[in-house]
Chain A
């Protein structure tokens, strides 16, 4: 049963949702908030300017598509797979691999066309490789094995299914719920240490929308948790997430000391906003196409991309943030900004051209530096809570 279902393409086709929105004269004049559906089927509220930006973005996506097709035509369909410079290659081949790698990185930062996303994400993230190391039937077997089983994780997943992007034309249908359930339950059995963490529901839901097949979405989720993101991001006490928050705080202090100092004076802790950013990979904060653009780069360049993007959001609002007087203002500024980032290039240009380079290596070092303190703090808190229990006699 599941086998046929999981292989079938998702019936939700975002292409069908592409409509050019022409707000009525009345709205244009009154500059009212309009409600519309974006290319992934999410309903968005914005003003007329936002609608115009989205239409421009659609045009840019089409242009970007033409660039990719042209490259495929000249370099071959899977050219992006030949970007590894190995020592055994002939000199001329090495050079072309290097050239491909440079082209690819630049190209991906400019965005992968939506139709190519499933194929390119799957190949470049390492999901394809991960899948190839297990038998063909792995996913179907896993799903069959989980059928009818109830665990703490399945209970929480069931609770969250209707609460994951409610109102979405495909995700919020019985078919959408069932697919999301299989992916999340399947993963909770694959890694029972992680089980289910709230936040993964949003990530898996978007992966389903993009990847089209449930099985590919599952492998993307696996590669994300097991290879792309910091370890223990979602497990147990979210220790990995705590580490990322501290690294982010340090980076902000390093790169933008004025913003960091101002926020510190307001007793604003970056994790007040960034926890959700990092755990949902921006899917609850940014408009869908902007989120997808972040993920394009995330799957190719790794978890450091999250820092680039988070820093960029603060940087873009520097002036306003420096004028804020209160934690609540800071949160409102950042929330409003992220919700209205309809043009992905605005964000990504800052994220990759203005922040300055950060290597995965330096990030790893910073994580190593923060880990002991985070572990110690979590451990202390755990002990304190336990002593609390003893004191109350429970």
Chain B
């Protein structure tokens, strides 16, 4: 299936956000197409990989789904260090999770890889009747901070593939040629094993 000149891109992606915002559920939906009404709470972080085809390239995401409880915060730098992309997830039914998301954005702007593609996901969009965070408010915030924004639902699958796809599309352009932090563009014909070394 690999065509000559077909590009293969590895990208480390981290999910951050409040406990219970739905990080693991979003990943599970993306990677396995499943949704669990009760998803086990994540301890430390969980690792997944998933490949997406975008235009003339394939992007292999190496996904770190982190634990949301505040005290796990001290572990986070290990996961976002060298990440090419981040999805910051909040739950549209709690204001608290939105505040927490903003804190993550600040931290990444300050400490993360400067070329990082950042997405803000307002998750649980299926729970419209319980909504407290307005989409407009989040969109404005995202625009002001250079993130792209989508409302997602891991439950109904709304915008889940889309958000990863959108990130994948933005990746090559976000890459500054002189500083390929967080990802390596390689040729598929190359040594597959070496090709997958990434994440400075």
Contacts and interface: CB of A to CB of B under 8 A. Distances in A.
B77 A272 contact: no
Nearest to A279: B43
Given A198-B69, A198-B72, A272-B47, A165 B40 contact: yes
Interface in B76-92: 77-78
Contacts of B42: 198
A199 B71 CA distance: 12
Contacts of A250: none
Given A197-B71, A280-B43, A381-B77, A162 B38 contact: yes
Interface in B1-56: 19-20, 36-45, 47, 49
A163 interface: yes
Interface string A266-284: 1101011101100110001
A342 to B, nearest CB: 21
A325 B77 contact: no
Contact of B44 (A234, A275, A327): A275
A109 interface: no
8 smallest beta-carbon distances between A and B, as pairs: A275-B44, A325-B193, A166-B38, A276-B44, A237-B74, A162-B38, A276-B43, A331-B47
A271 B41 contact: no
B196 interface: yes
B107 interface: yes
A392 interface: yes
Given A275-B45, A335-B47, 16 more contacts: A156-B69, A166-B36, A197-B69, A198-B72, A202-B43, A236-B71, A266-B197, A271-B75, A272-B45, A326-B197, A328-B62, A328-B196, A332-B47, A378-B74, A388-B106, A388-B107
A284 B36 CA distance: 17
9 contacts: A172-B38, A198-B42, A269-B78, A272-B47, A272-B78, A275-B45, A276-B43, A326-B193, A327-B199
Interface residues of A, number: 47
Interface of B: 19-20, 36-45, 47, 49, 62, 67, 69, 71-75, 77-78, 106-107, 110-111, 193-194, 196-197, 199
Contacts of A234: 71
A325 B75 contact: no
Contacts of B37: 166
A275 B196 contact: no
Nearest to A271: B78
A194 B194 CA distance: 44
Contacts of B69: 156, 197-198
Contacts of A280: 43
A333 to B, nearest CB: 12
A225 to B, nearest CB: 14
Nearest to B64: A272
Contact of B106 (A197, A198, A392): A392
B39 A163 contact: yes
Contacts of A164: 40-41
A272 B82 CA distance: 15
Interface string A353-394: 000000000000000000000000010010011001101100
